[in-house]
Structure formats: C-alpha cells, structure tokens
Homo-oligomer: A and B are copies of this chain.
Amino acid sequence: MKNRIITISREFGSGGRTVGKRTAEQLGIPCYDRELIQKIAGKSGFAEGYIKSLDETAPGGFLASAFSNRTFGQTNEDYLWNIQRKVILELAEQGPCVIVGRCADFILRDQADCLTVFIHADLAFRAQRIVQVYGEREDSPEQRIRDKDKRRAAYHRFYTDMKWGYAKNDQISLDSGLLGIDACVEVLKMLY
C-alpha cells in the first residue's frame, strides 16, 4: 500500500494553494509548495527564482530552444523537469502529503494512492483575490490572470500532453469561488 497523496493543480488566483495548505494542516500532513522549489533548487544548482519563473515561461523557453540549443542536448527546462519528477516521486515515497502544482498530478498518476485535484474559479473571483491576498497591482489583474493561465496551461500541456482545464485530468475539480475555500477543504478531507 502506497502513501496517500493529494496533488493540487490550480488556476492562478483560485486559492488552490490555500486549499492545499489548510487541508494538509487539518490532516496533520506536510504540504509541499515553495518547499518543492527549494528542493529542486538544492538538487539542480539553479536559483529558486529561476525555477519558479519556469512555471510561467517554460514553453516559450522551449520554443526558443527548439531553434537554438535543443538540438545540441538537454535544455534547462528538460533538465529541471527530470529533477522535479525525481523530487516529487521521492516525496511521495516518504509519506502522506499534499503537493501543490508542478504537474504532480501527472507525475504521480500511476505511482501512488493519489487523490488528484483541480481548483478553479471565475475570472472576477480570481481578480479580486490576487489584488486582496497577493497585493498584486490593481490595474488590470484580469489581464495578468489571462497571461498566467495561458503560460500555466502551455507548460502543463507541454510536459503532460493533457488538456489543461479538462475535468477528466483529475479525480475531482472544484470551483473555489462558488463553493468557497473552506468547503473545498472539507470535501478533500472527506475523500482522503
């Protein structure tokens, strides 16, 4: 019997990270989010800021690479993907946990007793949230969300070949805007 893991994919501003953290706290298990980036940084030698930025820019990076250094060997993105994959598989071996983002749903899909979750919400809810919670600047948070959505979808699609946003990618998808963050946490605790 493998460890029980919850993976959380989420739209930017949906509160998916908060759902993951609260669920983990209430279940008394660790939640890996920024810690994941620290671990990948430690193993790869790249700076945390650079790794974090790849969540947004990898596919662009890939397209650029396709016409430059890709033919001469592994890109930074591919190198980091392999380390990320290894780190996530190791965490899943260590014990029950919640893992936010980083395509963990795809990486752990056949590896563990895994509950895969997608958190989404409409644009208005997310725009309000990134201004209030993250302190994002208020001029056009909607445009910032659309950009992040596109980049995250492209990144996920490139490495997993899954269509971002499709219900069938995950065992459960929840609208945190209409259901509320606390209700999402309660549902995940019940299914754990």
List residues of chain A with CB under 8 Å of any chain B CB: 118, 120, 122, 165-175, 178-179, 183, 186-187, 190-191
- Residues A171 and B165 in contact, CB atoms below 8 Å apart: no
Who on chain B is nearest to A11 by CB?
Answer: B168
Give Cα A71–Cα B168 distance, bound, in whole angstroms: 38
User: Given A166-B167, A167-B167, is A179 in contact with B187 using a C-beta cutoff of 8 Å?
Assistant: no
- Residues B191 and A190 in contact, CB atoms below 8 Å apart: no
Oligomeric state, in copies: 2
Min CB distance, A131 to chain B, in Å?
A: 21
Give Cα A167–Cα B168 distance, bound, in whole angstroms: 8
Who on chain B is nearest to A179 by CB?
Answer: B171
